[in-house]
């Protein structure tokens, strides 16, 4: 039984990877029929998941979310990278839908990952700090906080529709036992609670552990070596095999599955396995991208071989913009956009994004829908025939009408840095209420989030407030945010009339969560997980007391 989404009006197909945008082709009657069919589909799924024995009830589609780490908008050939070294991802775009206007929810890793799995802005779930104004924060080893029990994560909700869920790679939502992914809905995990920082001396600071479910199976730079000199590591191949094995097992068991493949090869220090080292025109970072591209190709190939491609929704994106502070050797490209990771300029927030679902998403489409990483939460629930929770604010949209019918939904994009609303985009207009890259102190020490991109009055090294007269850019004409509109122009006033009420409504209704990223304590680094005994890695907690986390200025 084909899902009723396929009965909806379909947009025209185009041969090239960059077709012109088409609006919805579904006429009123067809659209109403599609909604009715989707309602019947969801009802069947819910009744089937509840074990009510519905004859011929369809199995919901499998869901694969491929989340990269610090990969930039400009790192893929389909987005214009001149080396054209991503044939599999480019083919994925040609067979699916490309989103050139897709955003993360925060320019840093931990908050953006919390947003994806909760469908909520990080400030709602507590993934921010109040230790400083507009301070970025994440979950280093010594962090005390993590994802609160009160948050409902995507894998937990998907259980209602019978899904088995696995995360492969980087979790980054807390280190302590209560924050473990298997306590928040995932059935399986292979990966690490953090990035592959290190190596450390295992005295003052341990090397970061790697887990299989609840058991620690080693640590980065030890059982899972990374050669910082050559960049050689087999982690991407290990993560690939974990994904392939999981897909095969779930297909054999005829269970719908959710796979969150969150690998980190493009996060400095970047790495690649030996067959890929030295193969890119872009150096070691390009080697890592090429291996990721090859891995995505193998995953999609397996779905075809198992004859489940048409029942598997795949989405590829990144957690934040490329880390230009590490470029060009250890960082990627944000294309024409300003600055990168850690900033709320377009380079820090706009991400590569590709949706793939053969037989459902028409091939070779480009959608100019303003999309968000939070939409993957709501869209995944919709695919499973489930509604998002109604007892809390959900920021993610259901993108199925966009992907299946070409519809566009007017929505704002909020750019938060820590607990501060820095900017808002609506339509083509972006208004900055605060501008800041990083402090003069850091900049003078060589820390530069916007190398070679100084824009006077915009890329500021002091926190500049523009709440009374926002800096406004037209992102269609000026994607690089170099030419703010004149405050005396009619266009400026019209843009503010669109944005101001949205900001007011958002701020009046906002209820921030309890901040999770304020307190650090070195003692929590050395919690002894199961398996450390056999590895001889049980460490005594150092003498330490909680303190405010010291975040960069």
Residues belonging to the active site: 109, 172
pLDDT value, residue 3: 40
Q: Is residue 271 part of a domain?
A: yes
**pTM score over 0.85:** yes
H helices of 142-282, in order, are 154-158, 235-252
Q: Which residues contact 52 (CB under 8 A, 6 or more apart)?
A: none
264 marked as binding residue: no
pLDDT value, residue 56: 55
- Cβ-in-10-Å burial (0-12, 13-18, 19+) of 201 comes to exposed
- DSSP character at residue 501: H
Please tell me whether residue 89 adopts helix, strand or coil conformation. Answer: helix
494 marked as binding residue: no
H helices of 50-129, in order, are 87-94, 109-118, 122-125
Stretch (H or E) spanning 507: helix 490-509
Structure tokens at 71: 């990969």
Per-residue confidence in pLDDT tens, the chain, 553 aa: 434 333 333 222 323 333 333 333 333 333 333 344 445 455 454 444 444 444 456 789 999 999 999 999 999 999 999 999 999 999 999 999 999 999 999 999 999 999 999 999 999 999 999 999 999 999 999 999 999 999 999 999 999 999 999 999 999 999 999 999 999 999 999 999 999 999 998 888 899 999 999 999 999 999 999 999 999 999 999 999 999 999 999 999 999 999 999 999 999 999 999 999 999 999 999 999 999 999 999 999 999 999 999 999 999 999 999 999 999 999 999 999 999 999 999 999 999 999 999 999 999 999 999 999 999 999 999 999 999 999 999 999 999 999 999 999 999 999 999 999 999 999 999 999 999 999 999 999 999 999 999 999 999 999 999 999 999 999 999 999 999 999 999 999 999 999 999 999 999 999 999 999 999 998 888 555 666 656 655 554 555 678 899 888 6
CB atoms under 10 Å from CB of 509, counted, come to 8
pLDDT value, residue 546: 86
Q: Is residue 142 part of a domain?
A: yes
Q: Write b or e for each residue in 22-31: b if 16 or more Cβ atoms lie within 10 A of its Cβ, otherwise e.
A: eebbbeeebb
Q: Which residues contact 470 (CB under 8 A, 6 or more apart)?
A: 431, 432, 433, 496, 499
Q: Is residue 364 part of a domain?
A: yes
320 marked as binding residue: yes
Distance CA 367, CA 18 (A): 10
Q: Is residue 526 part of a domain?
A: no
Q: What range does the domain containing 301 cover?
A: 62-411
Q: Is residue 451 part of a domain?
A: no
- Cβ-in-10-Å burial (0-12, 13-18, 19+) of 447 comes to middle
For residues 338 and 377, the answer to whether their CB atoms sit within 8 Å is no
Structure tokens at 400: 């199925």
Q: Is residue 541 part of a domain?
A: no
Q: Single out the residue of 358, 351, 373, 346 nearest to residue 403, CA to CA.
A: 358
Distance CA 301, CA 515 (A): 42
DSSP β-ladder status, 188-192 and 164-170: parallel
Q: Which residues make beta-bridge pairs with 216?
A: 211
pLDDT value, residue 524: 86
Distance CA 348, CA 104 (A): 9
**Peptide bond connecting 269 to the previous residue in cis, omega within 30 degrees of 0:** yes
549 marked as binding residue: no
Q: Which residues make beta-bridge pairs with 420?
A: 417
pLDDT value, residue 527: 55
Q: Single out the residue of 78, 476, 121 nearest to residue 296, CA to CA.
A: 78
Q: Is residue 29 part of a domain?
A: no
pLDDT value, residue 550: 84
70 marked as binding residue: yes
Q: Single out the residue of 237, 258, 263, 256 nearest to residue 168, CA to CA.
A: 263
Q: Is residue 531 part of a domain?
A: no
Please tell me whether residue 473 adopts helix, strand or coil conformation. Answer: strand
CB atoms under 10 Å from CB of 505, counted, come to 11
Q: Single out the residue of 112, 131, 171 nearest to residue 416, CA to CA.
A: 112
pLDDT value, residue 539: 52
pLDDT value, residue 204: 83
Q: Single out the residue of 108, 527, 56 nearest to residue 321, CA to CA.
A: 108
Number of domains in the chain: 1
Which CATH number goes with the domain that contains 238?
Answer: 3.40.720.10
């Amino acid at each position: 039984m084909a899902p009723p989404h396929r009965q909806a009006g379909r947009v025209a197909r185009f041969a090239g990877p960059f077709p012109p945008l088409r609006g919805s082709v579904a006429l009123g009657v067809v659209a109403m029929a599609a909604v009715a069919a989707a309602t019947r589909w969801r009802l069947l799924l819910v009744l089937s998941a509840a074990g009510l024995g519905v004859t011929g009830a369809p199995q919901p589609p499998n869901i694969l979310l491929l989340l990269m780490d610090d990969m930039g908008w400009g790192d893929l050939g389909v987005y214009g990278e001149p080396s054209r070294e991503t044939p599999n991802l480019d083919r994925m775009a040609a067979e699916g839908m490309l989103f050139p206007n897709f955003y993360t929810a925060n320019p840093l890793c931990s908050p953006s990952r919390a947003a994806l799995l909760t469908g909520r802005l990080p400030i709602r779930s507590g993934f921010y700090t109040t230790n400083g104004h507009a301070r970025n924060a994440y979950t280093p080893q010594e962090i005390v906080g993590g994802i609160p029990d009160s948050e409902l994560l995507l894998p937990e909700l998907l259980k209602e529709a019978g899904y088995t869920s696995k995360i492969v790679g980087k979790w980054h939502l807390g280190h302590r036992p209560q924050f473990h992914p298997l306590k928040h809905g995932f059935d399986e995990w292979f990966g690490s609670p953090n990035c592959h920082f290190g190596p450390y001396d295992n005295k003052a600071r341990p090397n970061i552990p790697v887990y299989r479910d609840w058991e620690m199976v080693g640590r980065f730079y030890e059982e899972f070596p990374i050669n910082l000199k050559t960049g050689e590591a087999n982690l991407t191949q290990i993560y690939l095999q974990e994904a392939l094995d999981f897909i095969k097992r779930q297909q054999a068991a005829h269970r719908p599955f959710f796979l969150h493949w969150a690998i980190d090869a493009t996060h400095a220090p970047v790495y690649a396995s030996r067959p890929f080292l030295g193969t890119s025109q872009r150096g070691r970072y390009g080697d890592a991208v090429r291996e990721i591209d090859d891995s995505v190709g193998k995953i999609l190939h397996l779905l075809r071989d198992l004859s489940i491609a048409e029942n598997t929704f795949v989405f590829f994106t990144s957690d934040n913009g490329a880390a230009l502070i590490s470029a060009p050797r250890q960082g990627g490209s944000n294309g024409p956009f300003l600055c990168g990771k850690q900033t709320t300029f377009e380079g820090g927030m706009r991400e590569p994004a590709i949706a793939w679902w053969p037989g459902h998403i028409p091939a070779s489409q480009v959608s100019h829908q303003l999309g968000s990483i939070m939409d993957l939460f709501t869209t995944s629930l919709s695919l499973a025939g489930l509604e998002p929770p109604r007892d809390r604010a959900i920021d993610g949209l259901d993108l199925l009408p966009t992907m299946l019918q070409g519809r566009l939904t007017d929505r704002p994009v909020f750019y938060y840095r820590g607990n501060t609303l820095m900017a808002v985009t609506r339509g083509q207009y972006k208004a900055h209420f605060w501008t800041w890259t990083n402090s003069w102190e850091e900049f003078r020490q060589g820390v530069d989030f916007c190398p070679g991109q100084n824009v006077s009055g915009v890329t500021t090294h002091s926190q500049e407030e523009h709440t009374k007269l926002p800096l406004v850019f037209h992102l269609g004409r000026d994607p690089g945010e170099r030419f703010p509109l004149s405050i005396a122009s009619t266009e400026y006033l019209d843009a503010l009339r669109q944005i101001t009420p949205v900001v007011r409504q958002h701020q009046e209704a906002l209820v921030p969560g309890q901040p999770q990223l304020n307190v650090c304590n070195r003692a929590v680094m050395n919690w002894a997980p199961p398996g450390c005994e056999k590895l001889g890695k049980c460490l005594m907690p150092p003498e330490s007391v909680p303190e405010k986390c010291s975040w960069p200025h």
